[in-house]
Chains A and B, each alone.
Chain A
Amino acid sequence: MSETPSVLVLGGGSTGCGIARDLAMRGVDVTLVEKGNLTHGTTGRMHGLLHSGGRYAVSDQASAEECIEENRVLRRIASHCVEMTGGLFVQRPEDDDEYFEEKLRGCRECGIPAEVLSAEEAREIEPYLADDIQRAIRVPDGAVDPFRLCVANAADAIDHGARVETHAEVTDVLVEEGEVVGVEVEHASGGGSADGLDSFVHGEPGETSELYADYVVNATGAWAGQIGEMAGVEVAVRPSKGVMTIMNVRQVDTVINRCRPKGDADIVVPHETTCILGTTDEEVEDPEDYPEEGWEVDLMIDTLSELVPILSEARTIRSFWGVRPLYEPPEVGSEDPTDITRDFFLLDHAERDGLPGMASIVGGKLTTYRMMAEDIADHVCETLGVDAACRTAEEPLPGSADFSVLREWMDEFGLRSPVGLRSAERLGSRVDEVLGEWDGPNPTVCECEAVTRAEINDAISQSGTELNAVRIRTRASMGNCQGAFCCHRIANELVPEYDESTAREALDDLYQERWKGERHALWGEQLSQAMLKHHLHATTMNRDGDPAATEGTVDFDAFDAGRAEGPADASTGDRREDAARGVVDGDS
């Protein structure tokens, strides 16, 4: 066979994008389809922990070893997505000594650098730790931006010839003569951009397409069972939900873990300008539809305050839930989702179910996404007879090529230094391309997160009118004000490339999306902030009573048309007044 083999990757999360990049780099013709935005599923809904492996050093040493290995790889290839904060496993008086020793031993057995700190030493690093903590183990945990990481993988895949198709939901798996040959997708409106990073949306809303390929990889995570069903095979993923609560500032600068076997609400991850509290672990039926409850948020705050007491008084800005794609081989049969391994599984449906042409990838975690992708790409290449080595562990992602780019941004691009610094951190080595080539004024559009017009426009060129995609690329509207001051400014940037009504719809979508998560933080300061936001958008802008957004028409004549100022013009004012009155009288 002389033609380039083709592969369809289902799922635009970190795993799917990682697989697409890996295969594209090996010269395979790849198409990735995602039903929503990139990161739509689990990737966009995690706490951003770059595992050192310490978390699994007792319960799941194979995972722990993979984590520390990939932790080192990501620091190298994705430096602009990673912040090496370091992490602490903190012991409280009621936590078991024996487990502490076991954790320390486990870390060392798995090759995870680990050092014991006294309570005083731990508080030197994190002054807000509780007074009664006993001691801590320091490990190389970090924070990773899952959005940036995922998008960088997709971008690099595209650079290597892959095609990425977002807002395209798989509606059927095509099986011909006992073999998977492709999928049918239904396109939705994602407002893809006409140029830039190619369009991510190729079809018209409502239109279906049949996509054929030599091989299909099901990397849809918690949704893998649904894809399996379409192909007639059983993939028994066990979706498990977890809540994450976002604080308005970084109460801690290192990852704080509770040093006990397992439990809800045992980690705080500093992330950009915020801290993320996590999490719970509860099996759900449907990965799309599960209850998001206030007690889960309360549990985060109350339990983690035992480690960091000021959290009980601090301001939360929103909460969100994610669903883990847990999987264990059917013969294990764990009752409790926290017992299920975090390891990943490659299910070759030819071997397992007698259905060639497709494999599913389930389980795993973000930290090891690249390793998973490598394994799967190896499997796919072997199946298709492609002889090419994996290069993803060596070649940096776009943006991480040269991280010596932190220069004097103020002089360079006319930006105040904190703004320039934040942009440079987000963009990494793309900073010259995005900021340097921007022509014209570059004001700050989102002040909470210091995002400038150049960055917003760069994101629009990649993702079109889908402002939630712009948001995840830039962090715009993700700060304290939750879009109160910037949603409309971001939408304004869509014009003139898109028309005003498109921009208005995009604004409404973004505003509603911000509101969804903010509802889980509505008390104290954040309720006050929400009320201000409501006033700005409903009162000052009258967006809720906007005649342009509704069917009816306004009887403009019924309203005051003003009165001319000078006596010379008084008659004009009276005339208007009389005319308007006439309408009112006529109506009554």
Chain B
Amino acid sequence: MAIREDVLVVGGGIAGATAALAAAETGAQVRLLSHKKSTLRQASGLIDVLGAVGDNGTEVEPSGLVADPFEAVERLPNSHPYRVVGAAGIRDGLRVFDEAVGDAYAGTHTDRNALVLTHGGTVKPTARYPESVAPGLASAAEKTLLVGFAGLTDFDAPVAASHLDAAGVPFEVDGATVPFPVEFRDDALTTRLAKALDTDESGARRGLTDAVADHLDGHERVGFPAMLGDDDRREVRAELEDRLGAAVFEIPTGPPSLLGLRLEDLLFDALDEAGVRLSSGNPAVGYEAADGRIESVLVDRRGREVPYAADEFVLATGGLVGKGIDSDRESVSEPVFDCHVPHPEDRYDWSEPAAFGAHEFARFGVVPDGDLRPTDGSGDADFENLRAAGGVLGGADTAREKSAAGVSIATGAYAGRRAGESVTGREAEEATR
């Protein structure tokens, strides 16, 4: 017998996880299909909701940095997925997220964005941030020391400190490069450093604070690239704070991103707890449909196509990075359901000559209707029971807007809830009949 569920979510990233959690809240039986590791390991681990709104095609000026993302939603174009779910949808997405991660994240106390230090040495607006990031917010005027390691080329603390100074942060900031107390290969990854602190390998924690102490000199808080432990991160950070007598925080980094990896763990724990069934390791490659409804999604299991049946489906396979959107020299496509993806005919119109221009490719994705159902070229829903969430949706330039995770959780929650409700609602109808 085919595997059968109420709701099948395709895609194991942040959008898929949120969709599955929201669907499960309605009482539906949910399965989540994921193929490869999600792109979270490449993401910062921050939940950006909406950090910048610029006029289309122009540079985003600092004045365009958004303090209140809810108010700024109105300034987005009509084709933006936020215009479908509205500020209420964003709030609901954040609620699902907040409940999933609990006190591992901060930012719930206000509607306003926080400014977080980036490993490139600038600041960025974000709505939710890991608790280890919280003591380092740029709005808090505390004398700050950044600490980097000689082998870690991705983060140079003195460079980041001067850059922050040039960005006009309201505090004094200095940078110091110290040797990591345990000797590794010269270019050991942050994940390896984190492990050494977790297990306090060769007294790594004390060694680290001894090395930093020489530079402390009245700094009220000390920022490290995100590598302060993994499993025992709270203990690591508490011990460092205790020894240094200063607040200690982490700065999100590029891949492999420890904060992204931790978020992935948090979300999968929440999915477990919500009773969502997981199938991972195999790609969705097609579907079976009848009468305008999807009946099953076909999963390629070592060359054999296995159908996963459900009543409702959520497509959350990601954008160009996650391969939810594919392209060749002529066209752009959505590979699982072959949904319509609008794009300029000439591939040279997909991008702009300026590296940080308003690239058309950044907005590639399926076009949702008012219920987040992908539509064909003429605005009609492709399938009655297929909704889309996250990066696979078009119309948002999430990199420029600083909205990637926000779009994922808001549309994920919306699509998941609608999917769940339409199953549980129908079941209720059948029971009364």
Contacts and interface: CB of A to CB of B under 8 A. Distances in A.
A563 B39 CA distance: 30
A524 interface: yes
B100 to A, nearest CB: 20
Interface in B158-180: 158-159, 162-164, 166-170
A531 B319 contact: yes
Chain B interface helix/strand/loop/mixed:
loop
Nearest to A292: B348
Interface string A489-518: 100100110011101100000011011100
B140 to A, nearest CB: 5
B398 A531 contact: no
A475 to B, nearest CB: 16
Interface stretch (A359-367, A385-393, A540-548): A540-548
A290 interface: no
B267 interface: no
A542 B120 contact: yes
Contacts of A294: 346-348
B140 A554 contact: no
Interface string B53-89: 0000001111111011000000000000000000000
A495 B166 contact: no
Most A CB contacts (10 A, CB to CB) among B62, B253, B362 go to B62
Contacts of A504: 163, 166
A535 interface: yes
A210 B111 CA distance: 63
B184 to A, nearest CB: 10
A444 B44 contact: no
A565 to B, nearest CB: 8
A488 B61 contact: no
A529 to B, nearest CB: 8
Interface in A281-299: 294, 298
A416 B326 CA distance: 36
A551 B51 CA distance: 18
Interface in A514-561: 514-516, 519, 522-524, 527-528, 530-532, 534-548, 550-561
A303 interface: no
Contacts of A535: 42-43, 321, 398-399, 404
A250 interface: no
Interface residues of B, number: 88
Contacts of A530: 320, 351, 361
A500 B162 contact: yes
B354 interface: yes
A554 B123 contact: yes
Most A CB contacts (10 A, CB to CB) among B63, B321, B351 go to B321
Contacts of B106: 562-563
Contacts of B119: 540-541
B139 A557 contact: yes
B150 A441 contact: yes
A545 B60 contact: yes
A577 interface: yes
B51 A545 contact: yes
B156 interface: yes
A554 B62 contact: yes
A442 interface: yes
B135 interface: yes
Nearest to B187: A443
Nearest to B114: A560
Contact of B356 (A414, A514, A538, A557): A538
Contact of A545 (B65, B67, B113): B65
A445 B153 contact: yes
Contacts of B134: 562-563, 565
A580 to B, nearest CB: 7
B402 to A, nearest CB: 6
Nearest to B136: A562
A440 interface: yes
B112 A556 contact: no
Contacts of A528: 320-321, 323
A17 B399 CA distance: 44
Contact of B120 (A486, A543, A554): A543
B219 interface: no
Interface in B315-333: 319-321, 323, 326-329
A500 B166 contact: yes
Interface residues of A, number: 74
A488 B323 CA distance: 26
A542 B328 contact: no
A500 B327 contact: no
Most B CB contacts (10 A, CB to CB) among A522, A534, A543 go to A534
B120 A527 contact: no
A548 B161 CA distance: 12
Contact of A540 (B118, B131, B152): B118
Contact of B159 (A500, A545, A580): A500
A584 interface: yes
Contacts of A577: 109-110
A495 B156 contact: yes
Nearest to A293: B348
Contacts of A488: 120, 154
A485 interface: yes
Contact of A492 (B42, B153, B359): B153
A442 B187 CA distance: 8
A453 interface: yes
A294 B329 CA distance: 10
A532 B257 CA distance: 14
Contacts of B255: 485, 536
B124 interface: yes
A353 to B, nearest CB: 41
A315 to B, nearest CB: 11
Given A545-B51, A548-B163, A584-B112, A443 B347 contact: no
Contacts of A532: 39, 42, 321
A559 B137 CA distance: 9
Given A540-B252, A559-B115, A546 B351 contact: no
Contact of B137 (A492, A546, A560, A584): A560
A499 B119 CA distance: 18
A527 B168 contact: no
B107 interface: yes
A576 interface: yes
B13 interface: no
A495 to B, nearest CB: 5
Contacts of B120: 488, 537, 540-543, 546
A523 B356 CA distance: 18
B115 A515 contact: no
A552 B170 CA distance: 15
B122 A543 contact: yes
B115 A554 contact: yes
B350 A539 contact: no
A535 B112 CA distance: 23
Interface in A421-459: 440-445, 453
B291 interface: no
Contacts of A552: 61-63
A296 to B, nearest CB: 12
A573 B137 CA distance: 12
30 contacts: A414-B186, A442-B186, A485-B255, A486-B153, A488-B154, A492-B156, A500-B121, A500-B159, A500-B166, A504-B163, A512-B354, A515-B354, A523-B329, A532-B42, A535-B399, A535-B404, A541-B122, A542-B118, A543-B356, A553-B62, A556-B138, A557-B170, A559-B67, A559-B139, A560-B115, A561-B114, A562-B106, A563-B106, A563-B134, A584-B67
Closest 10 CB pairs of A and B: A541-B120, A443-B187, A500-B162, A561-B139, A560-B114, A548-B166, A542-B124, A531-B320, A515-B355, A544-B356
Given A512-B355, A541-B254, 5 more contacts: A443-B187, A504-B166, A531-B320, A532-B39, A560-B112
Interface of A: 294, 298, 301, 414-416, 440-445, 453, 485-486, 488-489, 492, 495-496, 499-501, 503-504, 511-512, 514-516, 519, 522-524, 527-528, 530-532, 534-548, 550-563, 565, 573, 576-577, 580, 584
